[in-house]
Chains A and B, each alone.
Chain A
Amino acid sequence: MHKLTFLTLGLLLLGAPALAAKTVGANLKSVGIVPGKPGGTYTLPLGDNPSTFNYYGAIDNNTYTVLNNVLESLVEYNLATYKLEPGLAESWTTSKDGKVWTFKLRKDVKWHDGQPFNADDVVFTYNNIILNPGVRANQIPNLTFGGQPVKVEKVDNSTVRMTLNQAAGAFLQPLRTFIFPQHVFAKVDPLKNPENFMKMWSTDKASEVVGTGPFKFGGYVTGQKVTLVKNPLYYKVDSKGTKLPYLDRLEYLIVRDPQAQVSQFVAGNLDEVNINGAQFPDLKQKEVAGAPFKIQRSKALFGSPPHWSFNFDVKDPALAKVFRDLRFRQAMQSAVNRPRVINDIYNTIAMLPGHGVSPISEFYVNTTRALGKYDLKAAAAKLDAMGLKDTDKDGFRNLPGGKNLEFDVTYGTDSTIYPPLITILQNDLKSIGVKINPKGILVANLLSTGMSSSFESMILAFGDQPDPQLRREIWQPGQALHYWHLSTRDKDGKPVFSAMQPWEKRIYDIFDQGATVTDPIKRKALYGEWQALFSKNLPVIMIAKADNLAAVSNKVGNFVYNLGPIPTYNTHTFIYMK
């Protein structure tokens, strides 16, 4: 024991002057992070082959999951608060008008191949890759402010200046995107030859991938495994001075079928697996019976709470009039039996949803009271008040033209949530004289069906994000993904204010202001007002928010629920094997 302490101390003393290591983890006690011990292999599942190892070469979650351990960005998430902290940038300053940001870069960071990291890497990555319209997974929309992409310049070897056309409150969020090594990519000219850039770091060239992250590439066997190994040059240490990451190896087994993933976990070949409410009871039973793993449940910041939308632009004018009437949407809201949905469909692993914002987000305003109670009588009364009565005595209410109050609900059949949800809605609504016709399609086709406006009503899920600004395309009327009211956007992508109801116009203004206001208190107030408007006017009806569930082997220490492939939310730096 003494020997070990001595050795560690000695190593520290030797290493300290050369590497001004960054101490992390002391502020993470609230999520259970403790000093761990080095060594060991941690094995995780991956849902499919990554399509490439070039982060900007594809939009693919498997690629992102792996690279999150290999690449880094200027800023990164704090695991406990989800607030942004310095990453490759040591510190930054903002000009008074909020338009000029100056980033000081860390000087002790090396690429996996030993080359030093510097301002050229940042400037090259932004100007030639991230802001390059020919690159497939570029980030131009996220980094465009006041109609202009951000201007990125080198000040000196360890200073970068970014200039915005307009102040932006959420500017740090998109800076979570990863930095690439200039010395590797300069040989292809991505601005001139984006095709050649895309071929770099494809899956047959895994050994060429170079990052600054805690892990570097070890190997890739198609269809079977991605191996990452510890980066011995990594600049972070824990609160006791032990070099991070603790793990020697981080392995992703490629297992496509979710049930096969659980089997592999139970057999002991995986140390962790993310599960859903449907898989929960069986595994919980095993845990209680003494299996060597624990089920961890946590509130989710990200994730996609399902909602119910009504197409304001539906072809049938009588139906469109009903859908645009707030009383109708309020009636439908009262007819959603949320307690039953949470109990029966989510196996209790869910909570009441927020309105566009996760209940654990710093922007969240408690709007649960606006969700109301499950009350079919109240729902029926609202419909009566609208004059929607059963005039032909066939059991269903009639629209003014005489047609039945009947519409399609498009939903995804290959989901564990949507089909039972539809059954519950259908039965409840039938009892108050509303006929819904379930129309099942593949989950993958839901959004495109919504965007083509060829639906009457739809159950769909959109992700919550740490900053509402990041989901502006969905919630701001007139934006590209505001699919239930597409007439608020013209062919050139400009907003059509005449098509908006007053509360929609106000939401439009809130998002426009929220984009430029930098004062955090003012931003919070603006987004609070939006959530209140959302919960009162119900552009869509929120259903429920699932919690995160994972099963973790007892051998694993410092497990923090992995939020999925969210850039720079890297929990594996702290994982250790007991």
Chain B
Amino acid sequence: MNKLIKSITLSMVLAISLTAALAGCGTKNETDTGSDISGSVTAVGSSALQPLAEKAAQMFMDKNKDANIQVQGGGSGTGLKQVSEGGADIGNSDVYAAEKLPEDKAKALVDHKVCVVGFATVVNPKIKVDNLTKQQLIDIFSGKITNWKDVGGDDMKVVIINRPSSSGTRATFKKYALDGAEEAEGKALTEDQSGTVKKAVAETDGAISYLALSYIDKSVKTLKYEGVEATVENITSGKYPIWSYEHMYTKGKPTGAVKAFIDYMTSSDFTSSISEMGYIPNSDMKISRDK
């Protein structure tokens, strides 16, 4: 009996210490403001920004051997929450912090706009329509127009493919393309991933959706918005309104490796990579937005 108690006690101690060890595994950044940049940085959040942030981290670490940058996805909300609570050094987001977090928490965060990403209305390639006005787009997504013949196309049912209501892409599209109009609920299909959206649009007759420019290829057709094509030039000159900033949020002013990494992402060294990957560098933008 005594032995049993002894073994249980010992096991309990082991179990608790292991749990504690696992819990303590989180990375802590040890920043050094010396000339050579060292320390570790975690950037969590937006999956739209993730490929670009990963590329930047890789290039940054090649230059600064002592630096360790970790980039994780998880979504804009997760990124904002993590950085707000100190779980990550950088929170990546497609939307302003104030739209996701309670006001007092959003105020403690510092916004760094690292680049711009544009979105386009995409349809199935069989659809003959080339252009939609804002009102037509609102009527389609709010369920008023249900057939393509009402906007000058063939007699074909409109199939709306939405992103989930929590998606940053959907929020951006709703805000800048639909003027905040409530989308039809119970009529649209919902797909979580940009890749699945693209596949569904390409294969479903009459399908309409929206995608970030970095995802668009030949399998889907992009529509003009109010007669304006979704191109980099039209976005930078302010003619085409459906775009958003990609934000990197820090809690308070960034220091050390965190500051160096964010500076690197917006530096001229990295500009060409931003364009290559389908995003738009801030320096190209001739206009700006506050909200």
**Does B associate with A?**
no
Q: Which residues of B contact A (CB under 8 A)?
A: none
